[in-house]
Every structure is written in C-alpha cells, then in structure tokens.
C-alpha cells in the first residue's frame, strides 16, 4: 500500500486527470504572476489557457487580491437566504449594466456547472409559472459541454462525460454539432458553411412538438470539446427558430464571457440575445469561485407575479453571492474596464489569427480554428490510439515552458487578455517545435 503522509500525492483524487499518469510524473505549480506560472524550482511557464479559460485578466492582479483581503477582514460570510450584504447587490447591478439589454436579473452561483443547472431549473419553473407546465423537454447539442451536474451532463453531448452515470435526466434531446462541415477546414473566424444545421431544431419540434419543449441550450463557441466556431448565421437562425416555436434560448457563456471574443459576451459579438445566460470563470478572474445566471426581466417578472408561495424560486446555494466572491468580482470588472482588456482582445485578434494559422503546415495538424482570443489546433490521431498524441504534446509543451489544454486530439488555446504579441510568437514557436518532435 502506498505510503501516506502530509506530502503524499495519494489522498487527492484529481478531477478530469489521468491520476496514475500524473502522480508518476507530477507537474506542480508554486506561484503565478501576470502571464506566467512558476514551478517549485523557479521555472516560468507561459499560460496559454488563462488557467482553465478563466484567468482573463492575468494572474495575481493587485486590485483583485487586495479586494479579497479587505473583504475577508470585514465580512467573511453571510447567508443569502433571507439575508443580504451590500456587495451582492452592487455586484448584481454592475453585471446587469454589462449584460445584453433585458438580461438584467442576476442569480449568483459558485461555478459554471451550477450556473447551467440553475438556468435549466429557471427555464422549467418559468414555463410552469406561465401556465405551460407541459413544456419540460430540454434540448442540448452533440459535443456540448455544460459542466458536470446531472442537468449539465444530460444536455451536454460529450460521450465520456455521460456514459458512466446512468440514464440522466429524462426528456432531453440534442441538436447536431457544427464540426466537420465540408469546406470549413482551416476557416479564419466563423466558417461560412453550416448555418442550416440549426434547422435540425425543426426536426426535433416535429418529433416532440413545441408544446413539450422548454429550452434550447448551446455554447455560442463550444470550448471544452475542442473549439467549435459557429458558422455564419447559425446562432441567428437558432434564435429565430426558438422565437417561432416559443422555446427559451440559453447561452452557456462560461467560457466566452468577459472579453474572450473581444466583447463583453458572445451575445454582443454575434448580435444574438438569449433569454438566459450562464456565466462563471472570468466573472471573478478565478480568484474566488463564483458563477451567475443572467435572466431576462420577462422571465423574472413572470415568476414574481405568478408565485404561489412567498419564495418565488425554491433554489439556491449556501455560498450564493459569497462576500469574498463579490469583492473579487467587482475588482475584476474594474480591472477589465480600467485596462480596456476587452478592447485589447479585439485589437489582438487579427495578429492572433495569423499566428495560429501559421501552424497549418506544422506536423500532424489537420485543422486550425479561431475566433477572438481562442484557437483550436486539431491533430491527426494515432491509428487506434486517440488522444495519445495530444497528451504527449501537452506534456512536452509544459516541459518547454508553455501551458496548453488538450481535449481529444485538439490543442485549445485561450490566453489571458493581457498578453503581448511576443507571447503569441512564443506559443507558436513552442508548438511548432513540440509537434515536430512528436511521432
């Protein structure tokens, strides 16, 4: 039996990690600053993934750190059940001023997974409140990722996230994903072909009838499945079909929110306003766990007016609107605004796009996709051994001083918005070298 003790690696069961492989050759991080992680031996590792799509303003930013410290010394915790603290209302108001017009009622959660499950529950509760209790069906999308709650994995469409956990929620169906449309390889920005895939919602409506469908949930840009960019017109068509059939549209903006696409939200970038929007990650720059759900005033007010009990929504979390999270969130929003980080991301997009597509001729690369400061570099899998090449690329890149993320045989990049062109150049050079050395 392995030895146990204060320094043992055995006790921590790591999430979404091949634990045996990691613990045989652990990659430890001791500190971080701005664009870099630092290992215990002092080696700097360029963060090409903003932590996990979340440290949008860079690491260890003084304004955010100091706000958390001050708040911890003043009010460490108070429940949001029948109680409140001023920062929660200030933070909600600041968010409501940023979100698309009409999405100005904010429910706080603690993660993207909780935001998704909250959004699904609100959608179902709203349909009941307006007298359409038969609208219970939820529609996700193949290859979608919506966190790890039972609701999120039910509407999600990544096979291994679903297959081990039973039958999941009943009454769920899925749209097809938008990857692999002929002619879309190596598209720069939004691919031209594939908007008609949104029309699959008509097939689902014909099968189940719109009177049974509560909501459709999609990521505007699918991230964790390997950076799938929506075709031109796809999201607009999906919005029109939801309106046609009286179905709510939910955007999971956990990854795309807070500057990742050069705008506050993907909804702004694409000019498509959902009915409900899921937020997390960049909301607090990941300094304190926090999520939120932005809900249309129409939904909120209908539930207030139709409530059949003093509590209008029987849902919430012990740590909803945690004081430290609110302090971190307000300081994060200040940092984004004062440093113009959303505009910075927009300004860098063209350089980023050219740099990423310069890897089109790198060894093993079969596709490159990009939008905003996101890129997906798809590798040809080894015959009969999928994901193996990408995992080796991840480990080799780390050894070479670059943090990347891999999913299946796809390298995903999503750096902090404070990056310089020199950082982009370093990412490209490192990846070219790494891919050239891997069989």
Nearest to 325 by CA among 98, 75, 31: 75
Task: State how beta strands 213-218 and 137-141 pair.
Answer: parallel
Contact 136, 171 (CB under 8 A): yes
Task: Please report, in tens digits, the pLDDT of each residue of the chain (439 residues total).
Answer: 345 556 799 999 999 999 999 999 999 999 999 999 999 999 999 999 999 999 999 999 999 999 999 999 999 999 999 999 999 999 999 999 999 999 999 999 999 999 999 999 999 999 999 999 999 999 999 999 999 999 999 999 999 999 999 999 999 999 999 999 999 999 999 999 999 999 999 999 999 999 999 999 999 999 999 999 999 999 999 999 999 999 999 999 999 999 999 999 999 999 999 999 999 999 999 999 999 999 999 999 999 999 999 999 999 999 999 999 999 999 999 999 999 999 999 999 999 999 999 999 999 999 999 999 999 999 999 999 999 999 999 999 999 999 999 999 999 999 999 999 999 999 999 999 999 999 9
- Residue 121's contacts (CB-CB under 8 Å, 6 or more residues apart) are 151, 313, 315
Instruction: Give start and end residues of each alpha helix (H) in 55-140.
Output: 62-74, 86-98, 112-129
Rounded (to 5) percent helix, strand, coil in the chain: 40, 15, 45
Looking at residue 381, the DSSP 8-state letter turns out to be: P
- Residue 88's contacts (CB-CB under 8 Å, 6 or more residues apart) are 80, 108, 321, 323, 326
Looking at residue 37, the DSSP 8-state letter turns out to be: E
Look at the block and give the residue holding tokens 């993660």: 111
In what order do the strands lie in the sheet containing 402-403? 31-33, 36-38, 44-47, 402-403
Integer angstrom CA distances of residue 285 from 67, 105, 113, 267, 290: 13, 21, 17, 20, 9
Q: How far apart are CA 141 and CA 363, in angstroms?
A: 31
Token pair for residue 104?
Answer: 């100005």
Cα-based angle 234, 266, 252 (whole degrees, multiple of 5): 85
Domain ranges (residues) in the chain: 19-57+340-437, 65-338
Contact 98, 267 (CB under 8 A): no
Task: State how beta strands 213-218 and 36-38 pair.
Answer: unpaired
Contact 357, 188 (CB under 8 A): yes
Q: How far apart are CA 196 and CA 229, in angstroms?
A: 14
pLDDT value of position 2: 45
Nearest to 27 by CA among 397, 377, 389, 412: 397
DSSP 3-state assignment of 47? strand
Architecture in CATH for domain 19-57+340-437: Alpha-Beta Complex (3.90)
Pick the CATH number of 65-338 from 3.90.550.10, 3.40.640.10, 3.40.50.720, 3.10.20.30: 3.40.640.10
pLDDT value of position 4: 53
pLDDT value of position 225: 96
Nearest to 194 by CA among 213, 175, 209: 175
For the question of whether the overall pTM of this predicted structure is more than 0.95, the answer is: yes
Looking at residue 320, the DSSP 8-state letter turns out to be: T
Token pair for residue 429?
Answer: 């050079």
DSSP line for 229-282: PPPTTHHHHHHHHHHHTT-EEEEE-TTTTTTTTSSS-HHHHHT---SEEEE-GG
């Amino acid at each position: 039996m392995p030895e146990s003790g204060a320094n043992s690696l055995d006790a921590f069961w790591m999430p979404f990690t091949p634990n045996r492989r990691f613990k045989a050759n652990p990659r430890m991080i001791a500190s971080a600053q701005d664009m870099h992680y630092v290992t215990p031996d002092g080696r700097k590792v360029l963060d090409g993934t903003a932590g996990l799509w979340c440290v949008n303003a860079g690491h260890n930013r003084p304004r955010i750190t100091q706000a958390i410290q001050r708040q911890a010394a003043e009010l460490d915790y108070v429940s949001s059940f029948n109680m409140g603290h001023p920062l929660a209302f200030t933070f909600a108001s600041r968010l409501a001023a940023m979100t698309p017009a009409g999405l100005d009622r904010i429910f706080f959660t603690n993660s993207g997974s909780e935001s998704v499950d909250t959004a699904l529950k609100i959608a179902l509760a709203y349909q009941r409140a307006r007298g359409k209790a038969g609208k219970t069906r939820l529609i996700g999308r193949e290859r979608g990722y919506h966190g790890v709650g039972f609701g999120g994995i039910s509407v999600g469409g990544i096979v291994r996230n679903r297959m081990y956990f039973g039958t999941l929620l009943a009454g769920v169906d899925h749209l097809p994903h938008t990857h692999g449309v002929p002619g879309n390889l190596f598209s720069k920005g939004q691919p031209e072909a594939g908007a008609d895939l949104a029309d699959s919602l008509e097939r689902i409506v014909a099968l189940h009838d719109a009177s049974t469908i509560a909501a459709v949930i999609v990521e505007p840009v699918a991230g964790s499945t390997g950076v799938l960019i929506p075709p031109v017109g796809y999201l607009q068509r999906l919005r029109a079909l939801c309106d046609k059939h009286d179905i709510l549209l939910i955007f999971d903006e956990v990854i795309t929110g807070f500057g990742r696409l050069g705008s506050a939200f993907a909804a702004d970038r694409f000019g498509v306003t959902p009915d409900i929007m899921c937020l997390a990650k960049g909301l607090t720059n990941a300094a304190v766990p926090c999520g939120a759900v932005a809900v249309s005033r129409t939904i909120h007010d209908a539930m207030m007016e139709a409530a059949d009990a003093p509590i209008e929504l029987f849902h919430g979390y012990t740590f909803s609107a945690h004081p430290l999270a609110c302090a971190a969130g307000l300081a994060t929003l200040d940092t984004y605004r004062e440093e113009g980080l959303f505009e910075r991301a927009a300004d860098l997009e063209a350089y980023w796009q050219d740099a990423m597509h310069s890897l089109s001729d790198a060894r093993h690369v079969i596709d490159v996709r990009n939008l905003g400061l996101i890129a997906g570099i798809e590798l040809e899998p080894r015959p009969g051994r999928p994901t193996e090449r990408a995992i080796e690329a991840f480990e080799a890149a780390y050894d070479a001083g670059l943090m990347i993320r891999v999913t299946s045989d796809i390298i995903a990049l999503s750096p902090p918005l404070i990056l310089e062109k020199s950082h982009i150049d370093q990412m490209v050079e490192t990846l070219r070298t790494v891919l050239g050395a891997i069989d």
